[in-house]
Structures are given as structure tokens and as C-alpha cells.
Amino acid sequence: MSKFTFETLEGWLWDSVNILQSSANSSDFKNYIFSLLFLKRFNDVFEEKVAKRMDQEGLNREDAEKKVDFKIPSEARWQYLTKQTENIGTALDKALEAIERENQSLEGVMTAVKFDRQETLSSKVLQRLLHHFDKYSLQNKDLESGNLLGNAFEYLIKQFADSAGKEGDEFYTPRGVASLIVHLIKPQPGHHVYDPTYGSGGMLIESARYVADQPGGIKNGVVDIALFGQEKKTSTWAIGRINMILHNFESADLQKGDTLVNPRHTHAQKGLQVFDRIIANPPFSLNGWWMPVENAAEAATNGEYEINRESPNYAKEVNDPFERLVYGVPPRSYADFAFLQHVLASLQKNGKAGIVLPHGALCRGGSEGKIRQALLQDDLVEGIVGLPSALFCNTDIPVAVWILNKDKNPAQKGRVAIVEASRDYQKGEKQNQLLETHINKIVKTYEVFADVDKYMRIVPLEEIAENDYNLDISRYVSTSESEPAGDTTEVKQRIADIEVHDRDIDVKISDFLRKIQS
């Protein structure tokens, strides 16, 4: 029997979307499909492990099931679910609840999606979906490679992000952008890596891929990296958790909740947990970010916050118990520097971070200008990399990667590397892409840390201060082409010709006036 290939898996999974087309809201497709994919995989691996125990140890089925390192109750077995003909949504919800009950590490992951929605998701449609997912085995022995499901899951995430438009940015960072940042901050074996707004987890997985390729990156068959993240939206948190499991990073510490309001990676005595590397793509210019802090009417619900936005208390000052906003409080309409200061506060004293922010953060004034000035004066900004526009789902907003470094080397101190990479991309039908060639060009240039005409400058802080700490890339790196020098002989001849022509016109006018007067 031939192995299950990525091409087959890709088409099979995308066909499941067609089954849902006429029933569910397109924004919910990913949640249903991801959950069923994981449920099928969970069952198939369980059956594979049971069969292996029975074959190798001569056990009966009951004893073999007890020796498997995770549990699937009878009501969550795939064979049981595919035989259901009525109230299938209810049966699926009970199955997912039962799996969570028996496997504490999956708490909140399976039940983030609700299938019992008769008004939009009938038993007939769910039955078709179950039979569709029953077509192939997802046991390890039937897959072409060990990372097949992880790659397929990433493929689906990207496809759903593309179709979701602007909302797709909430859970997906283009792989090219993630790869670029990882190669700029260079996580090492043994590092603790953190993403405060991890979405579907792609940036953390990209960090692990990078470490796996480093000398000593694989230890006892496992990538030597510890992954941490937090995500506000429950359904997105669950997708990220599944993504980690399918990529064999079950131990990743992924927390639910609003990172700015309630950071979950903390120590009882020491405050925020700190990390060796931080990689982040927070929501661009998030509005109303401090309302949960200033509003007494908030209530926590499933890791999210219900806020009375009709009557915010504008007089109340922001009071951050984690003392992250040491460089100033950003305006309520732009959370960019709130996320950046959270990143700094969560960074080891010799740590390094890469964070994507909109171009406005480079040059806006007011309180943001003061924060930017303080960051630069404390010499925490190692580099700014301006990226092409239209890299993200359905938005043309230009962005830049900020490289933060708490332990600059002597060559970096008192200077900021500013890269103008806005022309490094491949144009796409819906969005532009950073290819490996573009990433290599940016990274190799950045590593040299020397001026490159019309591409990168190493700018002293004194020059930035003269520009009122404005980091607008065009102030420091000019990409305009100078006008070619003209042929002076040709220009002089043209001027002489014009003067002769003018004299001829003057003579004709004089002759005409004399005729009129006579």
C-alpha cells in the first residue's frame, strides 16, 4: 500500500471545506475541520499503539489499551462516531469533552469548538464529514513522512487566513516573515523562546526549525528548545495547541488570555517570566487596549474579556502591576509600544527579540515619540528592517521588524542598523511574498553590519537624535536614483537655437507693427 502523500492529503482536506460550504459560516470552517482532523489522528494513533502492544507483547486488547500513554473513552472512538445517524453534533461534543476529561494535557483544546448547532450544521452534513475523514488512515505507518500532518495543518492555516481576509492576520503570520525574524534573532539550542501573541503558533514552530538545524540542535531525538506563548482568542489558542501537537511539540507552554491585561507566564515572587528570545507579531495599532485596565465593568470569560465600551473611565490612569510601561504609556488608540514594552520586560538581560510593528511606530509623535526616544537613548534598538507592503492578508499596510537587544556587542553600541528592504519580494495575486532568496539577502547584509548603498546604513544615535528620534527609514536610507549628467555641449547648442528662433520672431513682429502703423 502506497504512503499517504502531501498532495493527496492537501486535496482530501480541502474537499472537506466543500462539504461545509452550504452550511457553516466560512469563518468557522477552520475550527470544525481542524477539530475533526485532530480527532481522527488521535484515534488512528491510539489504534496503532494498541495494535503494536498486542503484537509485540502478546497482550489482549483490553490490557493493551491500558498501556497506551493517552486515553480515548468509548464514546469518543471513531468507529462509534461514524455509526451515528442522529444528533451527531451532540455526539461529537460529548466525544471531545470525554477526551479532555481523560487527558488533562488537552484541557480546553477539544471543546473550544461546538458541533451541536442544528440550525447551521445538520447531522446529515456532519455525517458526510465523518465519512469523508474516514477515507484515509492517519496512522504513522501510513504517512509519507513524520512531519506530513504538521505541514498539511500549516497549509490549511494559510489557506484559511487568505480566505478570511483581514481577520486572517489575527492567527497567521506569513512563513517568510517568521523565517526572516528567526534568522535575525538566531535562537540557540537550549533557549526558551516566547511569543506573547502566538496565534496559530507558526512563529514558534519556525524558531524550533531553526534550532533543529544548528549544531547540537537535536538532543535525544528531540529539538532542544522550550516554547512558550499566549493567545487571547480561545478558538485560535486551541488551533495553535493542535498545531504544536501535530509538529511534535506537545510540551509547549501555551496559555490563554490577554497578554497586556493578564500575562500568564509569571513567577509568584519575581513577576514576569523572562526568555532568551522573543518573537512577536502583535495586532497592528490595536485600539482601546487599556480599557480593561481603566474600566471597572470588565468580566473574565473563557480567557477573554467582556468590556463595557460605552462608558470607559477616561480619568483613570493605567496601572500595570507588572511594571512593563517603564518608558511611558502609549495612547489608547495604538497598542504597538505596549506590546513592545511587554516584550522588553519579558526579555533576559542578555536576550534578543524581533517584533513586527506598523511603520507608524517609527515616526508617530506624542507619547509614542517619547517612548521611542527613551528606548533609543537606552540603546535597546539594534536594528530596523523595513519590509515590503501587502505581505499580510488583505492589507497593504507597510511594516518594519524591530530587533531589540539588551546586550549589544561593542560594534553595535550607540548605533542602529536600518535596512530598506521594501523592494525584496515576489508579487502575488493576493499578497506579496518573502522568498528564501529575499530572506538570505536581508540576513546576510544585516550580519555584516556595515553600510550598503541604497540598502542599509549603520546610523549613530547622534544622527537619530538630530532627527528628533524619528526612525522613518527614508530619512536614513535613500533609494532614489540621481539624475544622469547631461551633455553640456548639446544643451548650449539648444539654447543658442532657441535664441535665434526668438530673434526671428522679434523681427517678424517688428515688421508687422511697421506695416500696421504705415
> pLDDT tens digit string along 239-267?
899 999 989 899 999 999 999 989 999 98
> pLDDT tens digit string along 166-212?
554 566 889 999 999 999 999 999 999 999 999 989 999 999 999 99
pLDDT-derived band of residue 304, with 50, 70 and 90 as boundaries?
Answer: very low
Instruction: Tell me which long-range contacts 326-329 makes (C-beta under 8 A, separation of at least 24).
Output: 327/370, 327/371, 327/374, 327/375, 327/378, 328/367, 328/370, 328/371, 328/374, 329/290, 329/367
Q: Which of 482, 461, 483 is nearest to 471 (CA)?
A: 461
Residue 119: per-residue pLDDT: 77
Share of the chain above pLDDT 90, in %: 63
Contact 39, 72 (CB under 8 A): no
Cα–Cα distances in angstroms (integers) from residue 500 to residues 80, 494, 503, 505, in the given order: 100, 10, 5, 9
Residue 143 is classified by DSSP as B
pLDDT at 332 over 60: yes
Q: Which of 32, 48, 243, 2 is nearest to 133 (CA)?
A: 32
Residue 244: per-residue pLDDT: 93
pLDDT-derived band of residue 148, with 50, 70 and 90 as boundaries?
Answer: confident
Residue 499: per-residue pLDDT: 57
Residue 257: per-residue pLDDT: 93
Cα–Cα distances in angstroms (integers) from residue 85 to residues 125, 292, 294, in the given order: 11, 45, 51
Contact 289, 335 (CB under 8 A): yes
Residue 434: phi and psi, rounded to 5, are -95, 115
| pLDDT mean across residues, the chain | 87
Burial grade of 61 (CB within 10 A; 0-12, 13-18, 19 or more): exposed
Beta strands 218-219; 253-256: pairing state: unpaired
Using CA atoms, how far apart are residues 332 and 319, in angstroms rounded to an integer? 13
Contact 378, 368 (CB under 8 A): no
Model pTM?
Answer: 0.84
C-alpha grid cell, residue 364: 508617530
Q: Which of 75, 82, 52 is nearest to 64 (CA)?
A: 52
> pLDDT tens digit string along 467-516?
999 999 999 998 876 545 455 566 655 665 565 556 556 555 655 555 55
Cα dihedral 55→61→65→66 (10° resolution): -100
Contact 123, 133 (CB under 8 A): no
> Could you tell me where the beta strands, DSSP code E, fall in 217-346?
218-219, 222-223, 226-231, 253-256, 266-267, 271-272, 275-280, 299-301, 304-306
Average pLDDT over every residue of 326-342: 94
Contact 322, 263 (CB under 8 A): yes
> pLDDT tens digit string along 414-457?
999 999 999 999 998 778 999 999 999 999 999 999 999 999 99
Using CA atoms, how far apart are residues 85 and 82, in angstroms rounded to an integer? 8
C-alpha grid cell, residue 87: 444528533
CA atoms within 13 A on the CB side of 513: 6
Residue 510: per-residue pLDDT: 57
